[in-house]
Amino acid sequence: MISRYDEFEEALDRANDSRFGLQAGVFTNDLAHAWRAFERLDVGGVIINDVSTYRIDHMPYGGIKDSGLGREGLRWSIEDMTELKIMVLAQPL
């Protein structure tokens, strides 16, 4: 969704006022705005100057709120499909 806003903080508030939080696309030439969006937005990823659907395989792609659980991507898929197990060898008394 594209919306007009008067203040950048207002745009961040509007974006956060959603039950979804997959990714956000923020278009700006102001690096301070880019960092502020990254800090404030309640989403799984913030894409600066590209569409919110941007992803590549080695990125942790996923959302928060009602936009999913966990992350996609090679590393995260391997971790999700791995069962960790530990063995501790204590020295006999």
Residues 6+ apart with CB under 8 A from 76: 60, 62, 70
Element (DSSP H or E) covering residue 79: helix 74-80
Residue 89 has pLDDT above 90, yes or no: no
Average pLDDT over every residue of 47-55: 87
Q: What is the mean pLDDT of residues 70-84?
A: 76
- pLDDT at residue 23 tops 80: yes
Quote the tokens at residue 65: 């709120």
Q: Which domains does the chain have, with CATH numbers?
A: 8-80 (3.40.309.10)
Position 1 scores a pLDDT of 67
